[in-house]
Amino acid sequence: MTTSFAISEWSGWQATFSDEAVDTLSELTISETPDVAMIPPMLRRRLSLLGRACASEIMKHLEDGEDIPIVYCSQHGDIERTLKVLTELVDHQPVSPMHFSLAVHNAICGVLSIQAGLTANISTIAAGQQSLVPVLLEAAGILLSGADKVLCVICDVLLPEIYREEQSLPKTPYAISFVMTRSDGVNLLLQQLPLDGDKSRVNPSPISLIAFLATKQTELLIEHNNVIWQLARD
């Protein structure tokens, strides 16, 4: 099975203390914190690092008055807020209503939708560190249901130290976003490869999508559920 679509816009942010080697790309901002200039101050104060990274990426591609479906994906969501809620419960303290409400997996997009007046569908996904294929398939399905375009965002931060292990991912906070359309932009094909495919060239990081779109790279190999998927230019 082959799924076809296009990606018309893309951008990303990654924290400066990453151990990963990232090519210099105009579409990828590498800085200590995400750019929050486009986020209204009242909203900014309610958001954590993950929320600011997510909101910053979404607002880069959201035009005034535009109502566009969104696919949001994060492995753990706003895990720092979740930990604070659990800590308050363990300490027999009153749970902060703000921490509780914003710890919900779709809370960041929900708050942003209220701020921007969005009423279109918002899908939220938790797909571990193999998030790219589920997001692409979810967005492609929304296009098939009649939407003209879909705004996708994938973001994660470091696990709190209490949960962190040597193999824990990601190693650095990041957020990427892109707009999927039916045919406007870079035309792409997504398909499964044979089960015995070569895994040596598989790139698991969502940041790799930004590098793929911004360069002349012809294909990107992604692993999901022990299956290799090929994202190739059409």
Q: CA-to-CA distance for 212 and 27, rounded, in angstroms?
A: 11
What is the Cα 3 distance to its own chain's centre?
Answer: 20
Q: Can you give the pLDDT at residue 196? A: 64
Q: Can you give the pLDDT at residue 157? A: 93
Q: Can you give the pLDDT at residue 12? A: 95
Q: Can you give the pLDDT at residue 199? A: 64
Q: Can you give the pLDDT at residue 155? A: 96
What does the pLDDT profile of the chain (234 residues) look like in tens digits? Answer: 799 999 999 999 999 855 554 556 789 999 999 998 888 888 888 899 999 999 999 999 998 888 999 999 999 999 999 999 999 999 999 998 888 888 899 999 999 999 889 999 999 999 888 899 999 999 999 999 999 999 999 999 999 989 888 888 888 999 999 999 999 999 999 999 876 656 667 766 899 999 999 988 899 999 888 889 999 998
pTM: 0.91
Q: CA-to-CA distance for 224 and 108, rounded, in angstroms?
A: 26
**Which three-class secondary structure string do you get for the chain?**
CEEEEEEEEEEEEEECCCCCCCCCCCCEEEECCCCCCCCCHHHHCCCCHHHHHHHHHHHHCCCCCCCCCEEEECCCCCHHHHHHHHHHHHCCCCCCHHHHHHCCCCHHHHHHHHHHCCCCCEEEECCCCCCHHHHHHHHHHHHHCCCCEEEEEEEECCCCCCCCCCCCCCCCCEEEEEEEECCCCEEEEEEECCCCCCCCCCCCCCHHHHHHHHCCCCEEEEEECCEEEEEEEC
